[in-house]
Structure 1
């Protein structure tokens, strides 16, 4: 039964009590005045029947009867109840590396396309978890807020390219900081990150990223894309391959998956590392990990299955009205 100030019916019906009190005692005063107009006080005992001693309690009984009647109405009208429900759910933010090295084709058709396929298939196999997506390179930005609307995820993911972030490089710390903002209203035990990358942090912030994740109660599950022996980084202009990225000496740069860094991100934050080169195996392992890592989260919900007591209140009210009726021989407001 909800008697909180937020129950508007409770407040409105309580306003009836002073009105009823005023009417009861107003009626008594009016009746006394009418008697005085009809006859002087010394003649009233002979002209009017003597009041019963019990009738003095009638105003209190009437008020009590109306109080219980109002309580019955409040409980009947307030058919909802707020309940705290504990659910084992996660809020999962996928951090997707969109640096230029993700264009490497040591995994077909490319590291980025492999990562996007893993992301889509993982989300499709999740249950009630909330999911969000953050893309990062030298900077980071959220492209999908935390939501259970998985149908929209594929649209967001399909539009991701290595040009999505203007500032190139790879900075894990920036990605963790953006994810932390999204976790603001999520309890620490339910904060999960799936980081999909080739592991190259050009800014050298991998240790700082781990420290920030631990401070924020975030578990990182990392997914490594790419081969350890590496591949060149293709350069595209208007969708056409123009060559491969070179260093200042004109030598072709070979980008290699940094497995050790990705393992460190996962293991140091109580997460797991997954080899992302086999898509199906990677998806199955990520989904299993997230299910095993579910944390308890309290949710406040309105439920129609509230426990009602209006029958008891109504019964007490009717009982008092019956008492008044039985002990009032004239069956009127004689008090």
Structure 2
């Protein structure tokens, strides 16, 4: 066996031993040191599987070294000129591999972003509290949405769900109303909880039927008593206000600089009001023996919106377009700038990043640091 082949075999042993020691140290550090108690964690642990590229790099290096050793042996007796392109320097070859794989190792660790502890940061954000007033009078059971296949209440709940998907950080509350009103969901930023509550809203929740938008606006203002945030109210209704008590409340909202918007649901043609929204066989609401037809009162909604300079969106779709209203709240002038203090994780990604940079610098300057074999 030639000297160069023996050197190659020793180099491969060094490769396997160094990799074994490296990963053994990684496992020992993970198992022995109480990283959890120290508050050390990774923000993106899903990056760590990228380390699996390292064994692939090792296999490719193995093939390269094997090829170079064989070529070096084959042409070793033909003089130095013909040997320039097949130089095989074991020490430099190993250090090239070690520095390159170490660079990659630390880059992946930096991408995983190790953090430990936290620090307090003072900042500010623009905040808005939004109260959604949802009409649950019996007329909202009318199926004249989406070509007569969907009730107004179902379309309203779908609109609220889409609105929640588009909001970014606003606190929301839900007030349901008919002739009376009460708070179904207090102000919260937990959109997940809101999405659980909203599908359960039914017209049977309020026995005192009718449509009293003024009472809903009054109840909505109760949510703003203990808040310094910007304030906004969205009224979702078919517009059939039988009490006409909204004017006083609209004036109160304007004095308090509370933004108001309306989403009107229903069609001009209208539809019948079912006695039981779940069983059409029970018939429809009748007065003096005549079936009651409920229509969208667009004129009343326009009058209310005009009185307060509010946004009005009218729809007869099963999935009302809520984009204009959501955009209005995102860009609302009512948003208040509030100073907040919050905790931020101390990110130490720069430590593995610096180690990766040092390894890369050593990799490029290795030919200068180690003189090539002149023999």
TM-score by length of 1: 0.61
- Summarize deviations over 1:54-100 as a string: whole Å, max 9, x none: xxxxxxxxxxxxxxxxxxxxxxxxx98795x5422211111100000
Distance 1:216 1:228 in 2: 34
- 5 Å matches for 1:151-300? 151-187=192-228, 190-236=230-276, 239=279, 241-247=281-287, 249-278=288-317, 282-300=321-339
Q: Please, which runs of 5 or more residues in structure 1 have no aligned partner?
A: 1-78, 306-335
Partner of 1:27 in structure 2?
A: none
Task: Kindly state the Cα deviation for residue 127 of structure 1 after the two structures are TM-superposed.
Answer: 0.4
1:131 aligns with 2:169: no
- Summarize deviations over 1:299-320 as a string: whole Å, max 9, x none: 3433569xxxxxxxxxxxxxxx
3-state SS of paired residue (1:131): strand
Aligned length: 224
Distance 1:137 1:287 in 2: 24
Partner of 1:110 in structure 2?
A: 151
Distance 1:281 1:120 in 2: 11
Q: In 2 relative to 1, CA 296–196 (structure 1 residues): closer, same or farther, beyond 3 Å?
A: closer
Distance 1:280 1:232 in 2: 20
3-state SS of paired residue (1:234): coil
Q: Is the contact made by 1:229 and 1:256 (CA closer than 8 Å) also made in structure 2?
A: yes
Q: In 2 relative to 1, CA 303–158 (structure 1 residues): closer, same or farther, beyond 3 Å?
A: closer
Q: What is the root-mean-square deviation of aligned Cα atoms in Å?
A: 2.4
1:147 aligns with 2:188: yes
Partner of 2:127 in structure 1?
A: 89
Distance 2:278 2:318 in 1: 28
Task: Kindly state the Cα deviation for residue 281 of structure 1 after the two structures are TM-superposed.
Answer: 5.7
TM-score by length of 2: 0.55
Q: In 2 relative to 1, CA 118–260 (structure 1 residues): closer, same or farther, beyond 3 Å?
A: same
Q: Is the contact made by 1:88 and 1:294 (CA closer than 8 Å) also made in structure 2?
A: no
Q: In 2 relative to 1, CA 202–153 (structure 1 residues): closer, same or farther, beyond 3 Å?
A: same
1:99 aligns with 2:140: no
- Summarize deviations over 1:275-325 as a string: whole Å, max 9, x none: 2323656221221111121434243433569xxxxxxxxxxxxxxxxxxxx
Task: Kindly state the Cα deviation for residue 228 of structure 1 after the two structures are TM-superposed.
Answer: 1.4
Q: Please, which runs of 5 or more residues in structure 2 have no aligned partner?
A: 1-117, 345-375
Partner of 2:67 in structure 1?
A: none
Distance 1:304 1:257 in 2: 49
- Summarize deviations over 1:107-134 as a string: whole Å, max 9, x none: 1310110111001111111101111111
